[in-house]
Structure 1
Amino acid sequence: MTFEAIHNYYEHLVFRKIAEAAAVEDANFLEDVACVALNHLPPRYVRQSIDLLFYMSSDEYAEMLRRVDEAVENAIAFVQAHRKRQGKG
């Protein structure tokens, strides 16, 4: 038995949003942002992304995107502030 196909759908959305929103190339910073953002979103586990999209209304999908935008923006601010307090940026 293998579970390799199972993943949290929010991961894809968060990673894509970070790539669009982050103006830095520091891998550690981006990974920290991803972790903070994902920890503030509910898990949505799927085997295939199309499974989720098929059963979701356009309003529900828009709400997911709004939540991702907010989580990533807050995570960027949080990680930046944390690094400043530690003298890393």
Structure 2
Amino acid sequence: MQISVDVHNYMETLVGQILVQEHFTERFDHEQLADLACLALNQLRPVYIRHDIDFLSALPEERLVVLKQHAETAISVSMAMIVEDRRKNRDTDIPTTWHTPRFDEDSELEWYETPVVTPKNH
């Protein structure tokens, strides 16, 4: 099994369907669309599935409408960050790097690092 082949996030499909609309492709370049997709997907709860047809056949239409609305909302919120991009000269900016790793083993986990399910013996 290869996760990238056998399993995917259905929200990526919904966001992609929105971003290929002429309204977006005429307004934003490829880099901006990729940034927009990342920003939107980071706001959405992932829905991992194996096969679209199986998922959609079992999904109530009301739930699909809600998922599409969530994707549209995430994109519209993310658009402000792309439109009002404060970075100047994006192509010539040099990224900042640190030479000394700053890792604190005692620091708390971020919300996305916390396991959703905990073992029963804890």
Q: Report the TM-score when normalising by structure 2.
A: 0.64
Q: 1:68 aligns with which of 71, 91, 97?
A: 71
Deviation at 1:24, TM superposition (A): 2.5
Identify unmatched segments of 5+ residues in structure 2.
90-122
Corresponding position of 1:18: 19
1:43-82 Cα shifts (integer Å, max 9, x gaps): 001111112212211110110111111111111122222x
In structure 1, how many angstroms separate the alpha carbons of the residues matched to 2:87 and 2:28?
Answer: 19
Q: Which has more helix, going by share of residues?
A: 1
Deviation at 1:25, TM superposition (A): 4.5
Aligned amino acid, residue 18 of structure 1: L
Identify unmatched segments of 5+ residues in structure 1.
none
Q: Report the TM-score when normalising by structure 1.
A: 0.86
- Residue 24 of structure 1 aligns to a residue whose secondary structure is coil
How many residues in Structure 1 have an aligned counterpart in Structure 2?
87
Corresponding position of 1:46: 49
In structure 2, how many angstroms separate the alpha carbons of the residues matched to 1:16 and 1:54?
Answer: 19
Q: Determine whether 1:78 maps to 2:76.
A: no
Q: 1:58 aligns with which of 58, 61, 78?
A: 61
In structure 1, how many angstroms separate the alpha carbons of the residues matched to 2:60 and 2:82?
Answer: 33
| Structure 1 segments of 4+ aligned residues over 2 angstroms from their partners | none
**Highest RCO, 1 vs 2 (Cα 8 Å, sep ≥ 6):** 1
After TM superposition, list the pairs within 5 Å mapping 1:28-43 onto structure 2.
Answer: 28-43=31-46
Corresponding position of 1:2: 2
Larger Rg: 2
